[in-house]
Amino acid sequence: GESVGLHLPTLSVQEGDNSIINCAYSNSASDYFIWYKQESGKGPQFIIDIRSNMDKRQGQRVTVLLNKTVKHLSLQIAATQPGDSAVYFCAEMGGGSYIPTFGRGTSLIVHP
């Protein structure tokens, strides 16, 4: 979920487990959402996106769920691998805006 203060929330899982990373967004007018993965020393990498006319979208080993009623987004990673260890950000865009607003991020740690 969203971070409080200076510290990122952390999710620790074992290799092979499924991971769920949550994000609460603030703008009810947001109509486009993206999940990014950022590994240490690298820029954010696009994972998956979803538009507000959908409530679920699947990619390779990842699924994004959107609940507009409670303004909540989640990223599910199946069979988590050590290479999935990174910080995951959600981003929202609203009303035709091309500028995303980013969440604070969640640190995912996968233990072999």
Min separation Cβ 79 and other proteins, Å: 26
**Spatial CA neighbour of 8 closest among 104, 112, 109, 111:** 104
What's the min distance (Å) between Cβ of 44 and other proteins?
5
**Minimum distance of other proteins from residue 1's CB (angstroms):** 14
Find the shortest distance in angstroms from Cβ 54 to other proteins: 15
Taking the least distance from each CB to other proteins, the nearer of 6 and 69 is: 6
- Measured distance CA(83)–CA(39) in Å, rounded: 9
Which spans of this chain sit near other proteins (rule: CB under 8 A)? 3, 6, 32, 34, 36, 41-46, 49, 89, 93, 98-105
**Which is it for strands 19-24 and 30-38: parallel, antiparallel or unpaired?**
unpaired
Q: Which is nearer to other proteins, 51 or 111 (CB)?
A: 51
Give the nearer residue to other proteins in terms of CB position, either 81 or 102. Answer: 102
